[in-house]
Amino acid sequence: MKKSDITILVADDDPDYLFQTVFNLEKAGYKTVAVESQAEAESVIARFKPDLAIFDLMMESDDSGFILCYKIKRKYPDVPVILATAVSHETGLSFSIDSDQEKSWIRADRYLEKGIRPEQLDQEVMKLLKL
């Protein structure tokens, strides 16, 4: 599969971060679908299967990203999901998906702190899609 054949769903309520992420993914050669809310992401998931999804953790609610991970994995179990957040920077709380217990309730395949460099994000996407 070529990068130009891959569509990534990006959901984030921060328009600057959304723009920057989409810009960097498209510059790396991917197609993107960008949405600014959990509700919009749920609407896209209902009618379209992306090749990969990147969700912000906190949008309409503090757990929007977790809800989206659960919903996309229930409908499309094979779609890799990256959960991108600044929650530890903003709140001091941190979590990971290193243990089986955490993986059982956080349905993401990767957890990334916002501020990730474009080339690092591209590497994570390629790893998850086995490119």
Predicted pLDDT of residue 1: 84
Q: C-alpha 116: how far from its chain's center? A: 13
Could you tell me which of 114, 128, 126 has the C-alpha nearest to residue 20?
114
What CATH number did the domain enclosing 100 receive?
A: 3.40.50.2300
Domain boundaries, position 22: 3-129
Helices (H), the chain: 15-27, 38-47, 64-75, 87-91, 100-105, 118-129
Average pLDDT (84-105) is 54
> Tens digits of per-residue pLDDT, 32-82?
999 999 999 999 999 999 999 999 988 988 889 989 999 999 999 999 999
> What is the value of pTM for the model shown?
0.87
**pLDDT in the model for residue 58:** 87
- How many domains are contained in the chain? 1
Whether 16 contacts 24, CB under 8 Å:
no
| Percent of the chain's residues with pLDDT above 70 | 84
Distance CA 46, CA 14 (A): 23
